[in-house]
Amino acid sequence: MSAAPDPNRSPIPRRTWATLLVAAATVTTAGATGLLSPDDAAADAARPVHALQDELDALVADDGFPGALAAVRGTGGRVHHLTAGVGDLTTGEPVPVDGEVRIASNTKTFVATVVLQLAEEGLVDLDAPIETYFPGLIRGPGGDGNAITVRHLLQHTSGLPDYDDVVVADYLAVQHRYVEPHQLLDIALARPASFAPDTGWEYSNTNYVLAGLLVQEVTGRPIGAEITTRIVEPLDLDDTYWPHEGEQELRGDHPHGYYASEPEAEYADVTVQDPAFGWAAGQLVASPGDLLDFFTALVDGELLGPAMLAEMQSTVPAPGSAASGDEAYGLGLQTFTLSCGGTAWTHGGDIPGYETRGAVTEDGRGVMVAVTALPTAVEQIVHVEDVVDVALYE
């Protein structure tokens, strides 16, 4: 079962919304990678599948999420897919197994990976000021491009102010609105900087809007195309894609995503939305299984060489980065401290309609969990993170 909430845990992140609802639970398991002996298969399945299903059911029955879905891999390599709740509150249809969800800020890890690949190719210098690539772009109260480096962007140590609380102050009013990345920068840079570069840590979507523009500047190609050719296609992530400009509907099987502005308010179906407010900070769509494959391949060294992976995993303290306690943040990758001891690697994402949490270990274990509404209480966030911990518990 989930651990009791710690009263000293961080407050609810400001970029989460949503509400509660109770629904029925279902379970499916599917898929295997590699060959397993009967003993390996039994050990691989026992705790992750049964304990994880109980936790998913509790997210629906106790925390009120409409639906939940997960992909979990044990040390034997076998992947199980589980679901709970309903995928459509109107029809009562079940949550599709390994359905597509909006993965929000997990997009940042994809973008950071591309930037680090470009650094390996000599096209980006992690310690060069942003002014090198965008002369005169970063000026004003929000920051100075001469003092902010590429590393600061990827690490959230730039001090650049965020824009998201401004653009989602009335989310339903902008649900279908398209914006350009430079409009997001204009909103952010009109605000005062949070701190001088490299003197603090604060999560800011603005950092990754700039990182996406950097990729486009040095490659001459759209950030979505670079993510596709460098990551999605090589890893055969069939359910992962960058939505086209103006694309609002999800392409494949998916659970509906729901939004409410306050607890106990009636849900609005926000499955159809324009993700442009996320852009390189949060626009991608993927299934839990694809997300698990991506993080596993990344940590296993399939996407970056040893030196650059070490750069990515070189962390700084990141206060308030998780509901279950402070973690450390690298270059688009965050630690996840396991209750059984040790550390896994993660990111996470929040967008109206969906929250995703997961982690992978260096011995090949991993889990990705999605719920179809965002929490309004810190206990709910903790419970989603606890599901990840249970799946990786040894």
For the annotated catalytic residues, the residue numbers are 105
Q: Hey, how many other C-beta atoms are within 10 angstroms of the C-beta on 104? A: 27
- Residue 199 burial (CB < 10 Å; 0-12/13-18/19+)? exposed
Measure the CA dihedral 33/35/40/44, to 10°. Answer: 10
Residue 64 identity (one-letter amino acid) = G
67 closest CA partner among 249, 241, 267: 267
Query: Which stretch of DSSP H or E encloses residue 182?
Result: helix 181-189
How far apart are the C-alpha atoms of 153 and 148, rounded to whole Å? 7
**DSSP label of 287:** -
Task: Give the C-alpha distances (Å, rounded to integers) separating 149 from 105, 143, 144, 166.
Answer: 21, 11, 10, 25
Show the CA angle centred on residue 326, arms to residues 324 and 331, nearest 5°: 120
